């Protein structure tokens, strides 16, 4: 997760000034911070042995809809930055004669998008299993009298 944020923040957003003013960057930072405030508060209290049920529920339930939204925001930020990387050639490298190999950075970002969305499926599955392990199935059976 830290590597993911470093790539998006410093490589995609920070290197292109045109992308820094887009609304998707604000949305992305808001989603990241919202998830982190809940997660770090829960983890801090859990380390001290304090389990507050609404915070536990919020920690394991809020991340399920917000994580895909943050992945969509990351993907949109990358898509918005692609034309700038193509026009300016930022981070694209052409190696000299013996290698005759070039790295076109927009292709690297497009491959990263595929990995990002494929990884999201595994992480969502893991989030559901963690939620079930900590909160139970959530099925309440009504007793008939």
Digit-coded pLDDT (tens) for 72-114: 999 999 999 999 999 988 888 887 777 777 889 999 999 999 9
Count of domains forming the chain: 1
The pLDDT value recorded for residue 142 is 54
Confidence (pLDDT) at 1: 80
Q: Is the pLDDT of residue 11 over 80?
A: yes
Domain that holds residue 93: 1-143
Q: What is the mean pLDDT of the chain?
A: 89
How far is Cα 8 from Cα 115, in angstroms, rounded to an integer? 13
Phi, psi of 136 (to 5 degrees): 90, -175
Q: How confident is the model at residue 124 (pLDDT cuts 50, 70, 90)?
A: very high
Q: What are phi and psi of 103, to 5 degrees?
A: -115, 115
Separation of CA 40 from chain center: 16
Q: Which pLDDT belongs to residue 34? A: 95
pLDDT per position as a tens digit, 12-26: 999 999 999 999 999
Per-residue pLDDT at 4: 86
Residue 12 to residue 17: CA distance in whole angstroms: 10
The 3-state secondary structure of 93-139 reads EECCCCCCCEECHHHHHHHHHHHHHHHHHHHHHHHHHHHHHHHCCCC
How much is the pTM?
0.83
């Amino acid at each position: 997760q830290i590597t993911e944020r470093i790539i998006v923040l410093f490589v995609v957003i920070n290197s292109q000034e045109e992308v820094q003013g887009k609304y998707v960057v604000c949305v992305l930072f808001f989603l990241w911070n919202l998830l982190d405030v809940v997660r770090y508060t829960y983890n801090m209290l859990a380390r001290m042995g304090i389990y507050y049920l609404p915070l536990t529920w919020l920690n394991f339930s809020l991340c399920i809809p917000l994580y895909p939204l943050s992945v969509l925001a990351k993907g949109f930020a990358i898509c918005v930055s692609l034309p700038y990387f193509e026009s300016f050639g930022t981070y694209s490298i052409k190696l000299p004669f013996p290698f005759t190999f070039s790295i076109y950075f927009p292709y690297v970002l497009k491959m990263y998008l595929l990995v990002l969305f494929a990884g999201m499926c595994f992480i969502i599955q893991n989030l559901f299993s963690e939620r079930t392990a900590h909160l139970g199935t959530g099925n309440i059976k009504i007793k008939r009298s």
